[in-house]
Chains A and B, each alone.
Chain A
Amino acid sequence: MNARRTLLLAAGGLVLAIGATFLLDPFRNYQLALVAAYLCATAGLTVLVGLSGQLSLGHAALMAAGGYGYALTVNALTGAGVDGVGRFLGGIVGAVVVSGVVGLLLGLAGARLHGPYLAGLTLTLVVAVPAVAASVPALQGDRGVRTAFDGVPAPLRSLIALEQWQAWVALAVAAVAVTGLVLLRDGRAGLRMRAVRDDEVAAALAGIAPARVKVLAFVASAVTAGLGGSVLVFVTQSVSPGAFPLGLSLLLLVAVVVGGLGSLLGAALGAVLVVLLPWLVGTVTDALPLPDAVVQRLDGTLASLVFGVLLIALVAGAPGGLAGALTAARARRRARRAAGGAGGRRRTRPSRGGAAAAPPTGDPSAPARPATPTPTPSTPREPVRTPTEG
């Protein structure tokens, strides 16, 4: 897919998504804004893990970095008398700079470290977020930083609710972030990332500098995660360390793997999952006939139990993630149709499913196992049309 087509698709998708906000009530629009924010993070993570093969457990910390960068810049600009669009864009720049710097440092470390060691470093980073927030006075510890409130711009005020406006902004930021990632993935950099992921030595022989490629992937991923964090702050006007626990990092990872590793469609599904799954699980448990006395003890706990069971079942049943399963189903349908016409049964390989279950990305084991030839499905990656722009 060439760059112009990507941009057109992104613009079209954004317009459609913005149109869709008119069909949603304020709370749904708020949730949509959250989906957009988490999509920034899952998309960045799926590119990092799926394309460059580096495992990060630190994306919650990167979101926090972006959130704090946004909040502090916005507050500084408010102090300087700037407001409106200028302040918002300034905040975004702050988010990009802070998360980019943290990502750069992690990327430099990641270029030297193998899978689990990088995972350990990023895990420790997430655990240190509250400590950092508590020891740097400007971050104001547990209570976090509040920012000024951006209402609906005057011309639109009579037309749309606040949450709808917030959803628009969130969608626009997510569109920019995801489009950037698509361009990166489809461009030369993406090719190099896959080359490094599949065989670092061969890539180096082909004239690619693996370290530089890995750092680039980490920075890109960090910046998009940071954008996600800034959207969260824009929507809720506050950022605090408690909102970015280790659990969120793990959840983001769960989301991209369940969605389908390396796939931006999967990242979108994963982001929806992050926001909506609690409700899905809640509905399931509500539907179970249970006596009231039991319910109190089970409240919340049962929901997570169901989630855990579903998660295990899904990973066991569809290793390619939801995106992989969707594409596989589509491919099967196509194959059936083709078979009917050509007379012979021909099975199309589900390209996305294959790609999603690709080689030992982020695999803790990859480094130690001496270059066992992994059966890498070398099917050309058909650029998948995803509603990721939304």
Chain B
Amino acid sequence: MDRLVFLLGTGVARGTVLALFALSLVLIWRATRIVNFAAGAMAVVGVYVGVAVTGATGSWWWGLVATVVAGGLLGFVVERGVLRFASARSPLSGVILAIGLVVVLQSLLGIVFGQEHEPVQPPFSDRPLQVGGVPLLSPYDLFVVVVALGLLGALRLLFVKTSLGLQLRAAAFEPEVSRLLGVRVARMRTVGWVLAASAASLAALLAVPNELGLNPHAADMLFVSAFTVAVVGGLDSPGGALLGGLTVGVVTSVVTGYLGATLAPVAVLGLLAAVLLLRPSGLFAQAEARRA
């Protein structure tokens, strides 16, 4: 029992980071109908900037700010500088451009910073709190959970309660009509990218202390898992990202604990297949438009 509680705690902690990253994918998907394959590489660039700033100022919090700003800035540059070449008629070209971008960013990072792993310490204790003798979440894990939940809430408010959010949603779902109604669709798309890239950079910054260290490939697996999470939860649903993240995190942790690490990816595949069998558009799919 203790063991299960411990594994659940670990799973929740990892799952929230996944959820935060998946949230970034959901944001870009909602804004531009593109699955951003470059999300991982872009986020790592933000983290490199943040870690450099932390090193220079000695404050992790300035690093956090720098990460978010740098991530957002990169999102802006990428949307305006690269993704605008995506052909409207062949949306796959967006995917290919993003893959090209991954290669470019990762090799640039490799050239500038090298391939080595740079250790990144969490800003405060990551020693887990003991609950009834079982190590559960650490203060750092709790911090991650709070940040992820806070961001989710804030974004929900932004999308549902503000005029900007309404415009963002309109531009995403009905670009033609929105344009006619005076929504600056291109600008909304950029805003979506900036928000999403910031969120992904933040997620990567939070995840890195739990990993081997910062290197150009630090977010590769994070992206892959987050894509799975987003699909499980439903690509249109921020709430789904959270639930999907927790589910995937817990399944991975429990399977690793009881059946071994090798089986974890198979279990995730099984989970995904099962969810999609029952809900082809993810757990939180919105009612589909009637077709025919």
B173 cross-chain contacts in A, Cβ below 8 A: 368-369
A112 near B276 with CB under 8 A, answer: yes
Residues of A within 8 A of B282 (CB): 117
- Residues on A with C-beta less than 8 A from B1 are none
By the criterion CB–CB under 8 Å, are A257 and B92 in contact?
Answer: yes
Tell me which residues across on chain B come within 8 A of A298, comparing CB atoms. 111
Q: How far is the CA of A109 from the CA of B270 in the complex (A)?
A: 13
- How many positions in chain B have a CB within 8 Å of any CB in the partner chain? 56
Confirm or deny: B138 has a beta carbon within 8 angstroms of a beta carbon on chain A.
no
Q: B228 in the interface, Cβ–Cβ < 8 Å?
A: yes
Question: How many residue pairs at the A-B interface have CB separations less than 8 Å?
Answer: 172
CB neighbours of A319 from chain B (8 A): 87, 89-90, 93
Which residues of chain B are within 8 angstroms of A364 by Cβ–Cβ distance? 29, 33-35, 91, 95, 235
Q: Does B131 contact A (CB under 8 A)?
A: no
| Number of residues on chain A facing chain B (CB within 8 A) | 64
Tell yes or no: A25 within 8 A of B by CB.
no
Q: Find out whether the CB atom of A357 lies under 8 angstroms from the CB atom of B87.
A: yes
Q: Is B227 an interface residue (CB 8 A)?
A: yes
Pick out which of these stretches binds chain B: A70-78, A89-97, A119-127, A334-342. Answer: A119-127
Interface assignment of B101: CB less than 8 Å from any CB of chain A:
yes
A156 interface contact, C-beta 8 A:
no
Specify the chain A residue showing the minimal Cβ separation from B282: A117
Residues of A within 8 A of B (CB): 49, 55, 109, 112-114, 116-117, 119-121, 123-125, 127-128, 130-132, 134-135, 200-201, 204-205, 246, 250, 253-254, 257-258, 261, 297-298, 301-302, 304-305, 307-309, 311-312, 315-316, 319, 356-366, 368-372, 374-375
24 contacts between A and B (CB under 8 A): A49-B92, A109-B277, A112-B277, A120-B227, A120-B228, A128-B268, A132-B266, A135-B263, A250-B37, A257-B96, A258-B96, A261-B92, A298-B111, A305-B108, A308-B101, A308-B103, A312-B85, A315-B86, A315-B93, A316-B85, A358-B90, A362-B92, A364-B33, A368-B33
Interface of B toward A, CB cutoff 8 Å? 29, 33-35, 37, 82, 85-87, 89-93, 95-97, 99-104, 106-108, 110-111, 114-115, 173, 176, 224, 227-228, 230-231, 235-236, 262-266, 268-269, 272-273, 276-277, 280-282, 289, 291-292
